[in-house]
């Protein structure tokens, strides 16, 4: 099962303060759907605001990125630049 | 994708840029240089109050003035709903964007736009502005970030209830949101510390300082199509924002990015562009609107000023066991400071098990903040790098050594969560340590400081079109406005990939109708992401050239190789054919299948983070408090420097901005909340006589996700200077300055107080 | 008030124009004569992007009135190259990557030209102080100063 870590802000807002989960999902899109099922309302927040780091690699638009069974997945705020 | 192992012909060299001749002769057309027949002059009326309700705006006299062809206010813009979208670094709210462009209901800062006119001459436009009567009810204002957080502070937005707080408050405040980053357990970490240092800092808002004021020329047609010429880092973003604000189909608006006289993040949003379009639509004529320098300071985004507090715990061997920070950033008049990346970057260069950072995004009666080179990071990293310096001095450990003992490496869990991939932070520390600057002798009142910095860098949506002309030379089009010489880097990558002379590749920046969507030039992304699109397009063209050669020779494409810019038979069995050059193949393009062209549209992921370490020597004049930078060396991991001289230039320019931020730049508001120093005389950016040569050391730890190993370069260099300078001052006179800028009056006061 | 008729010489060419009394020389160059190489960075003489040479003196054209050009010789960036041939400073700036965005470049080139005409062998300090009236935000000045110093050396070498 992949290890999923939310920001503490999202954890507090949607998951009663919990930020770490073990969830099985083949890609980010399905992971978001799984999280939305558990914590209604979190899905749109994740899609709009969050980038994703899968095993250390940050993806700003992670919709289709695959997740392996041993992956470590962080949700991070999207980064822009100046 | 791995780094190229064969010797590179163009990558790493410094060919003359394709826009060079135009730039040194004045021929290049920047935002204010375009003239269209019948063009009107657009000017903006701005609020003289920091905070006031708009009771009424009467434009009748202005409209009646001969020569005035259009007048507009916020009433000419459809009300926007509160919708948040990503923009540069910051999230953007369309209702706020619209209100910032033209005040509705309230003015929120000195300089806030309230109306605009288009007239046949500048003199008439100015006279028309004088005839617009605005009835203001002045309200109490608040300028300072901590004052704005006080419970009795004047409230800017009645509907701002702090986000990120559970439960959501029922009273409005000036705190838009709270942000939390946490790993491990800081309390447990501090319990293990042999030494704990905590310190508070203040930084002032600073402007990006681009020499070219915002400028736009808009031309609206009767059928609803429009053309816009403007200086911008992102013409596709401009297109999107303007189309939304004007209620247009995106494809009806064609935006051309002019040459741009600096942006640094500040030209990733819109101010005049929708105004020029609206005035053009109303008047039926083209309209040019240009900001004065005063307007630029009063009304275009600086970066945040901040109040920061940092606490670091270390063992006596200098191992950091806990890091904690509280960061309060001001967003200006509307929500959206770079507090999030500020929080994430604060401790990012280091391998720390326990980190806790709290951030506040606070509104104040100042211009809305815009992105500025590594938004948010210089402020938070300045605080941490300063405290690390104090720690190194207290423990008697060399400051670079301290950083080496704690440096993040490949596999380290970053302070903001995920593991780092291949990174070059340790390499920059080693290079700094080994540099002759680090061991050069110092004289009286002189001191040396070091500091490091981290920035994520991004990739993003990018397009490239490579067309082979009939004579075999190439035209390369991308959608990335060129703010620092990127056209040269694109040409280098194409030439290297195809095997051509870089002088035979002409690079242009295409307008929004002529190339696919390309994310703005910023985030240190162009050489990485647009470069990837260029390389991919070059590979596709190479494939096509092979296929065409095969057709010309009437052999299988498998029997053709591409080498040194020529198609050659793969071996003796392929047949005896003379190599075909690009020109020879291109000349037969029509009969072998048509024009030779490749178009690539991609979303580049895999940007490599960047690290820098700077060494700064200063001399403090004890009589005046003036600090002179004597020597400066900036080391940075650039992955692979495609155009060596322009990479050096990015490092030097960023360092200079950081030095200005450290020593002199700040906004000075009077007690009415009006900006007193809205010009380059009193908003003091570094001039040539302020600085020494800035030596650069390019470390190359390749980013495995780019064909040539590229890492973004542009933003990292602005991060270390503020702490490097502060640490140097402390080394020189034994005083820890905690308020930026460390201008002469402040240093003198600190010397006088013996603090 | 009626427009003022001005007769002057711009980059060696006899030129006439009409201007309002309050129009600056910079306004006239850009808006009346379409010579947009000189840039307005501030309008108050603080940034040097509008630098021109007026009767042999380096001035900010935003601080001179258009009417003041009467009977004078004005040199702008547009006249710096000699036909197809760059002035050595222009060539050196390109070779030395002494520009990034390029908006300050015309001003720097004019100012540097003015310096080298007066002082063909300036020290680094002299170059920095002479050019202190020209702001650049992109380069940190390093490559600009190097380009001017190298160009000065080349030009001295060519005359030796």
SS3 call for A47: helix
Q: Which of C79, C107, C140 is the last residue of a domain?
A: C79
Average pLDDT of chain B, as a whole number:
95
Is the CB of B37 inside 8 Å of chain C's CB atoms?
no
Flag whether pLDDT at A7 surpasses 90: no
Q: Is residue A41 part of a domain?
A: yes
User: Residue B632 and residue C67: Cα distance in Å, rounded?
Assistant: 46
B652/C142 CB distance under 8 A: yes
B572 interface with C at CB cutoff 8 Å: no
What is the C-alpha separation between B86 and B92, in angstroms, rounded? 6
Domain chopping of chain B, boundaries: 20-27+459-604, 376-457+608-753
Strand duo B84-87 + A57-59: pairing: unpaired
Q: Which of B129-133, B252-256, B399-403, B520-524 has the lowest mean pLDDT?
A: B520-524
For B343-355, how does the pLDDT look when each residue is reduced to its tens digit (9 = 90+)?
999 999 999 999 9
Residue B447 has pLDDT above 90, yes or no: yes
Closest to B278 in 3D by CA, of B334, B228, B215, B214 = B228
Domain CATH for C18: 3.10.20.30
* Percent of chain B's residues with pLDDT above 90: 94
Answer yes or no: are the C-beta atoms of B372 and B206 closer than 8 Å.
yes
Q: Residue B653 and residue C103: Cβ atoms within 8 Å?
A: no
Minimum Cα–Cα distance from C37: chain B residue: B26
| Full residue range of the structural domain in which residue C35 is found | 4-79
pLDDT surpassing 60 at residue B89: no
The CATH number covering residue A63 comes to: 3.10.20.30
Say whether both C62 and C92 belong to one domain: no
Model pLDDT, residue B280: 98
Inter-chain residue contact C37 with B681, CB threshold 8 Å: no
Tell me the fold of B376-457+608-753: Aldehyde Oxidoreductase; domain 4 (3.30.365)
Which pair of tokens denotes residue B298? 């009063």
Count contacts between B and C (CB, < 8 Å).
178
Res. B85: pLDDT tops 80: no
Burial class (CB within 10 angstroms; exposed 0-12, middle 13-18, buried 19+) of C129: middle
Across the range B507-533, mean pLDDT stands at: 96
Instruction: Compare CB distances from C135 to B645, B650, B680 and report the shortest one's residue.
Output: B680
Q: Which of residues 447-466 of B touch A (CB under 8 A)?
A: 455-461
Tell me what the mean pLDDT of segment C75-102 comes to. 97
Chain C residues whose CB is inside 8 A of the B293 CB are 41-44, 46-47
**Domain range B20-27+459-604, CATH architecture:** 2-Layer Sandwich (3.30)
Helix (H) or strand (E) holding B628: strand B627-637
Q: Model's pTM, two decimal places?
A: 0.96
Taking an 8 Å cut-off on Cβ atoms, the answer to whether B262 and C101 are in contact is yes
Please report whether residue A82 resides in a domain.
no
Interchain CB distance below 8 Å, B417 and A76: yes
- C25 with C67, same domain? yes
pLDDT reported for residue B90: 56
Q: Take residue B417 and report the two structure tokens written for it.
A: 């969560």
pLDDT higher than 60, residue A69: yes
pLDDT tens-digit series, residues B309-357: 999 999 999 999 999 999 999 999 999 999 999 999 999 999 999 999 9
Q: Return the CA Rg of chain A.
A: 12
Nearest CA in chain B to A80: B89
Total domains, chain A: 1
What's the Cα-to-Cα distance from B526 to each of B437, B523, C153, rounded to whole Å? 32, 8, 36
> CA-CA distance, B266 to B245, in Å (whole number)?
20
pLDDT interval class at A78 (50, 70, 90): confident
- If asked whether residues C137 and C73 sit together in one domain, one would say no
CATH number, position C148: 1.10.150.120
Question: What are the tens digits of pLDDT across the range C104-153?
Answer: 999 999 999 999 999 999 999 999 999 999 999 999 999 999 999 999 99
Residue B165 φ/ψ, nearest 5 degrees: -120, 130
**Chain A CA closest to residue B266:** A82
Residue holding tokens 């390389």? Answer: B535
Verify whether the Cβ–Cβ distance B371 to A82 is below 8 Å. Answer: yes
Provide the number of structural domains found in chain C: 2
Q: Do domains B20-27+459-604 and B376-457+608-753 have the same CATH topology?
A: yes
Mean pLDDT of B487-510: 96
Q: Of C79, C113, C133, which one is at a domain's C-terminal end?
A: C79
Bridge partners (DSSP) listed for residue B175:
B362
| Interchain pair C142, B693: CB under 8 A | yes
- A contacts of B90 (beta carbons < 8 Å): 80
Could you tell me if residue A20 is inside a domain?
Answer: yes
Give the closest residue to B408 by CA, choosing from B389, B387, B390, B422.
B422
């Amino acid at each position: 099962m992949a290890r999923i870590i939310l920001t503490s802000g999202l954890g507090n807002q949607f998951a009663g303060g919990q930020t770490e989960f073990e969830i099985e999902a083949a890609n980010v899109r399905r992971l978001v759907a799984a999280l939305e099922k558990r914590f209604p309302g979190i899905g749109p927040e994740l899609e709009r605001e969050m980038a994703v780091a899968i095993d250390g690699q940050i993806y700003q638009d992670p919709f289709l990125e695959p997740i392996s069974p041993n992956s470590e997945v962080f949700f991070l705020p999207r980064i822009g630049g100046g | 994708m791995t780094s190229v192992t064969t010797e590179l012909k163009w990558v790493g060299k410094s060919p003359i840029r394709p826009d060079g001749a135009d730039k040194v002769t004045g021929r290049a057309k920047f935002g204010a240089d375009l003239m269209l027949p019948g063009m009107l002059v657009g000017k903006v009326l701005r609020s003289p109050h920091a905070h006031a309700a708009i009771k009424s705006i009467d434009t009748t006299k202005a409209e009646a003035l001969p020569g005035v062809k259009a007048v507009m206010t916020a009433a000419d813009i459809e009300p926007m709903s509160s919708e948040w979208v990503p923009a540069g670094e910051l999230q953007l709210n369309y209702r706020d964007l619209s209100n910032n462009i033209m005040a509705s209901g309230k003015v929120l800062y000195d300089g806030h736009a309230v109306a605009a006119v288009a007239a046949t001459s500048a003199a008439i436009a100015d006279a028309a502005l004088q005839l617009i009567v605005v009835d203001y009810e002045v309200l109490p204002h608040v300028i300072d970030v901590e004052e704005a957080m006080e419970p009795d502070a004047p409230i800017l937005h009645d509907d701002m209830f702090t986000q990120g707080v559970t439960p959501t408050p029922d009273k409005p405040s000036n705190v838009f949101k709270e942000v939390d980053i946490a790993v491990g357990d800081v309390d447990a970490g501090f319990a293990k510390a042999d030494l704990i240092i905590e310190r508070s800092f203040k930084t002032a808002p600073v402007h990006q300082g681009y020499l070219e004021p915002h400028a736009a020329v808009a031309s609206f047609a009767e059928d609803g199509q429009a053309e816009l010429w403007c200086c911008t880092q992102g013409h596709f973003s401009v297109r999107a924002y303007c189309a939304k604000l004007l209620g247009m189909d995106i494809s009806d608006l064609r935006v051309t990015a002019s040459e741009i006289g600096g942006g640094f993040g500040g030209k990733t949003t819109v101010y005049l562009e929708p105004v020029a379009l609206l005035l053009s639509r109303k008047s039926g004529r083209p309209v040019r609107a240009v900001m004065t320098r005063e307007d630029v300071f009063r009304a275009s985004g600086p970066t945040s000023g901040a109040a920061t507090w940092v606490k670091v715990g270390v063992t006596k061997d200098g191992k950091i066991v806990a890091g904690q920070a509280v960061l309060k950033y001001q967003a200006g008049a509307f929500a959206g400071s770079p507090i999030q990346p500020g929080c994430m970057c604060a401790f990012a260069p280091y391998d720390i098990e326990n980190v806790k950072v709290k951030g506040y995004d606070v509104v104040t009666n100042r211009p809305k903040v815009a992105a500025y080179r590594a938004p948010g990071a210089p402020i938070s990293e300045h605080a941490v790098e300063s405290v690390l310096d104090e720690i190194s001095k207290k423990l008697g450990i060399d400051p670079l050594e301290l950083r080496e003992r704690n440096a993040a490496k490949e596999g380290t869990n970053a302070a903001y969560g995920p593991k780092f991939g291949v990174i070059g932070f340790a390499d920059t520390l080693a290079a700094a340590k080994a540099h002759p600057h680090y061991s050069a002798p110092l004289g009286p009142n002189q001191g040396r400081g070091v500091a490091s910095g981290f920035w994520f860098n991004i990739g993003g949506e990018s397009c490239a079109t490579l067309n082979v002309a009939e004579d075999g030379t190439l035209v390369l089009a991308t959608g990335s406005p060129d703010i620092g010489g990127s056209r040269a880097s694109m040409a280098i990558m194409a030439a290297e990939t195809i095997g051509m002379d870089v002088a035979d590749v002409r690079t242009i920046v295409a307008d929004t109708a002529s190339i696919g969507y390309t994310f703005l030039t910023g985030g240190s992304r162009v050489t990485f992401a647009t470069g990837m699109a260029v390389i991919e397009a070059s590979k596709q063209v190479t494939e096509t050239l092979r296929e065409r050669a095969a057709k010309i020779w009437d052999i299988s494409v498998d029997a053709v190789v591409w080498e040194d810019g020529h198609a050659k038979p793969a071996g003796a069995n392929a047949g005896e054919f003379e190599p075909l050059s690009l020109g020879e193949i291109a000349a037969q393009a029509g009969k072998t299948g048509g024009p030779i062209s490749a178009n690539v549209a991609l979303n580049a992921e895999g940007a490599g983070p960047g690290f820098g370490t700077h060494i700064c020597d200063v001399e403090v004049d004890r009589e005046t408090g003036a600090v002179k930078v004597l020597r400066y060396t900036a080391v940075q991991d650039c992955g692979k420097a495609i155009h060596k001289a322009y990479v050096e230039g990015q490092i030097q320019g960023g360092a200079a901005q950081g030095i200005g931020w450290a020593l002199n730049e700040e906004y000075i508001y009077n007690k009415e909340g009006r900006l007193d120093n809205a010009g380059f005389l009193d908003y003091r950016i570094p001039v040539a006589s302020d600085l020494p040569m800035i030596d650069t050391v390019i470390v190359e730890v390749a980013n495995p996700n780019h064909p040539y190993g590229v890492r973004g370069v542009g933003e990292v260099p602005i991060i270390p200077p503020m702490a490097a300078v502060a640490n140097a001052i402390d080394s020189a006179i034994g005083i820890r300055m905690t308020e930026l800028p460390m201008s002469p009056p402040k240093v003198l006061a600190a010397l006088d107080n013996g603090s | 008030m009626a427009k003022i008729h001005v007769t002057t010489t711009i980059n060696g060419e006899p030129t006439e124009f009409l201007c309002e009394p309050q129009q600056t020389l910079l306004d006239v160059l850009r808006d009346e004569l379409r010579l947009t190489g000189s840039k307005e960075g501030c309008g108050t003489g603080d940034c040097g992007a509008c630098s021109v040479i007026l009767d042999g003196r380096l001035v900010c054209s935003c601080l001179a009135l258009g009417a003041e050009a009467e009977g004078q010789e004005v040199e702008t960036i547009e006249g710096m190259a000699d036909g197809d041939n760059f002035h050595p400073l222009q060539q050196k700036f390109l070779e030395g990557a002494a520009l990034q965005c390029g908006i300050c470049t015309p001003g720097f080139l004019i100012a540097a030209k003015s310096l080298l005409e007066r002082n063909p062998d300036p020290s680094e300090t002299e170059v920095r102080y002479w050019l202190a009236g020209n702001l650049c935000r992109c380069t940190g000045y390093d490559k600009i100063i190097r380009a001017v110093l190298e160009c000065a050396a080349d030009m001295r070498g060519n005359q030796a």
